[in-house]
């Protein structure tokens, strides 16, 4: 059955097109920098927002129909698969990401829930074989059911920990079955509201225990991809343990998990932590922990997780700049963890939103690649640090200079203000504008 009869496969028509159902910048099979754009961007559809999110918020019910014509949960799960594959094919999106419960809901006992999930993953696997579409990453929804009200791996209840482990085991099996190259831990309710009822040390140790078990089990069933932590500072809990990339790096290193885990950086989570998206990507990259991206944007005037489709070209440019500097995606990709606004409720809005996001990233990639080829930014940065490749700078880096040697040097040198040069921020910002607006 075709769900979007009025929408054909979205063509690339170029920047002068005014067709709302055409790409202006994303040309999937165009070779740029020696690679097809689809393989550079590795766009993914998020099963939760796109197939399940109907616009429900705390002030009102859904505005978009995401029943896919079925009331029975098992029939709806299958219809969702058909609709998702249709959307991906029409939009030239090669990957998808899922939570176990987005694919198939709970049916009472874990045993029944798992059996129903198997039926859906069998169905997806068959569609993957037909179409060649791939799974970017999977995860377990260990945060929505009441049993997770105090966390999953960090719950004070050992029974909840055990249940979470069982659910994650199955989600890992499903990810491996669908050929996923990533497995995400987003710590839904892994955090706390008040220290008056919280044993923080035990909760963190337990969170690490669960991740260690997941790595051991995942590797034992042949999962060769990356495990990711997706940092987020708040929402739903007041203090999320995975606050930002720097916090997560400290956690991973403390528990010896840093060899198996990388970051899944989400733009809106970066801004909730009062960082820029680029900051989070750069911290991950410079620590060898860059993995995957949840592509969206927040609203600078709102302090919550709005998960909007990304359209800000400066952000997509500086994001792709970091991705290029990181050597491109390996197991990761650009997952649209984004939803159309509640008022954008028609089926066409799904397509308009993805087109907007994909075009914004395609343009961002082209701008980033040009920024690097242009070389003005890179050569400014390398000149700015030139004092580290010769003389006393080189002695410090090579370990030759100790405190006494540096004191001797400073005493002989006298005042050093003259060796400082301007940071030239405004000039550099105008170079970025010059490159972006000359594409
Ligand atoms: C929620 C997160 C979530 C993760 C996957 O804020 O973005 O959707 O990406 O569990
Ligand atoms: Ca996310
Ligand atoms: Ca989010």
326 and 339 Cβ atoms separated by less than 8 Å: no
CA distance 251 to 270: 18
Check pocket membership of 307 for ligand 1, CB cut-off 6 A. Answer: no
Looking at the CA of 337, which ligand is closest? 2
Check pocket membership of 47 for ligand 1, CB cut-off 6 A. Answer: no
Closest CA to 361 of 326, 321, 408, 421: 321
Cα(173) to ligand 1 centroid in Å equals 20
Check pocket membership of 46 for ligand 1, CB cut-off 6 A. Answer: no
Closest CA to 87 of 119, 43, 125: 43
The tens digit of pLDDT for each residue in 286-344 reads 999 999 999 999 999 999 999 999 999 999 999 999 999 999 999 999 999 999 999 99
Active site residues: 99, 102
**Percent helix, strand, coil in the chain (nearest 5)?**
50, 10, 40
313 and 435 Cβ atoms separated by less than 8 Å: no
- Checking 299-306 for CB contacts under 8 A at 24+ apart, the result is 300/271, 303/272, 304/235, 304/272, 305/232, 305/235, 305/268, 305/269, 305/272, 306/268
pLDDT at site 190: 98
State the closest ligand 1 atom to the C-alpha of 335, by its place in the atom list counted from 1: 9
Cα(269) to ligand 2 centroid in Å equals 8
CA distance 26 to 355: 8
Confidence class of residue 85 from pLDDT cuts 50, 70 and 90?
very high
Best of 230, 232, 336 for a ligand 1 pocket test (most atoms within 8 Å of beta carbon): 230
Three-state DSSP class for residue 183: strand
Cα angle for residues 352, 361, 36 (degrees, 5° grid)? 105
Q: What is the average per-residue pLDDT within 193-199?
A: 98
Q: Indicate which residue's Cα is closest to atom 5 of ligand 1.
A: 186
Cα(186) to ligand 1 centroid in Å equals 6
How high is the mean pLDDT of the chain? 98
pLDDT at site 40: 98
pLDDT at site 184: 99
Check pocket membership of 244 for ligand 1, CB cut-off 6 A. Answer: no
Helix (H) or strand (E) run with residue 396 in it:
helix 391-397
pLDDT at site 3: 98
Confidence class of residue 123 from pLDDT cuts 50, 70 and 90?
very high
Q: What is the average per-residue pLDDT within 349-359?
A: 98
pLDDT at site 425: 98
CA distance 66 to 191: 31
Q: Indicate which residue's Cα is closest to atom 4 of ligand 1.
A: 186
């Amino acid at each position: 059955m075709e769900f979007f009869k009025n929408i054909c496969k979205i063509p690339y028509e170029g920047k002068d097109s005014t067709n709302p159902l055409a790409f202006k910048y994303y040309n999937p099979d165009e070779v740029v920098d020696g690679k097809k754009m689809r393989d550079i961007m590795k766009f993914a559809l998020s099963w939760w927002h796109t197939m399940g999110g109907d616009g429900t918020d705390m002030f009102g019910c859904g505005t978009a129909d995401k029943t896919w014509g079925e009331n029975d949960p098992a029939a709806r799960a299958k219809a969702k698969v058909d609709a998702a594959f249709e959307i991906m094919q029409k939009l030239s999106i090669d990957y998808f990401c899922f939570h176990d419960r987005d694919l198939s809901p709970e049916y009472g006992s874990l045993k029944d829930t798992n059996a129903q999930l198997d039926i859906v993953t069998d169905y997806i696997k068959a569609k993957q074989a037909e179409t060649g579409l791939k799974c970017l990453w999977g995860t377990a929804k260990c945060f929505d059911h009441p049993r997770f009200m105090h966390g999953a791996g960090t719950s004070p209840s050992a029974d909840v920990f055990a249940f979470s482990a069982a659910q994650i085991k199955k989600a890992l099996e499903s990810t491996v079955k669908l050929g996923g190259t990533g497995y995400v831990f987003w710590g839904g309710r892994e955090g706390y509201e008040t220290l008056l009822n919280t044993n923080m040390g035990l909760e963190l140790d337990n969170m690490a225990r669960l991740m260690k078990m997941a790595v051991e089990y995942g590797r034992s069933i042949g999962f060769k991809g990356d495990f990711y932590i997706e940092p987020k500072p708040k929402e739903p809990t007041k203090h999320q343990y995975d606050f930002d990339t720097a916090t997560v790096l400290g956690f991973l290193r403390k528990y010896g998990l840093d060899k198996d885990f990388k970051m899944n950086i989400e733009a809106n989570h970066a801004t909730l932590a009062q960082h820029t998206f680029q900051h989070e990507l750069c911290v991950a990259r410079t620590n060898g922990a860059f993995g995957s991206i949840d592509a969206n944007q927040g609203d600078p005037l709102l302090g919550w997780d709005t998960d909007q489709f990304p359209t800000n070209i400066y952000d997509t440019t500086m994001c792709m700049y970091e991705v290029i500097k990181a050597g491109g995606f390996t197991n990761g990709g650009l997952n649209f963890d984004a939803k159309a606004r509640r008022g954008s409720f028609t089926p066409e809005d799904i397509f308009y939103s993805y087109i907007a996001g994909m075009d914004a990233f395609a343009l961002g990639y082209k701008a980033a690649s040009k920024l690097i080829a242009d070389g003005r930014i890179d050569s400014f940065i390398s000149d700015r640090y030139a004092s580290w490749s010769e003389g006393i700078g080189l002695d410090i880096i090579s370990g030759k200079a100790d405190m006494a040697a540096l004191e001797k040097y400073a005493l002989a040198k006298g005042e050093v203000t003259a060796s400082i040069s301007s940071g030239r921020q405004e000039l550099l910002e105008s170079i970025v504008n010059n490159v972006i607006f000359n594409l």
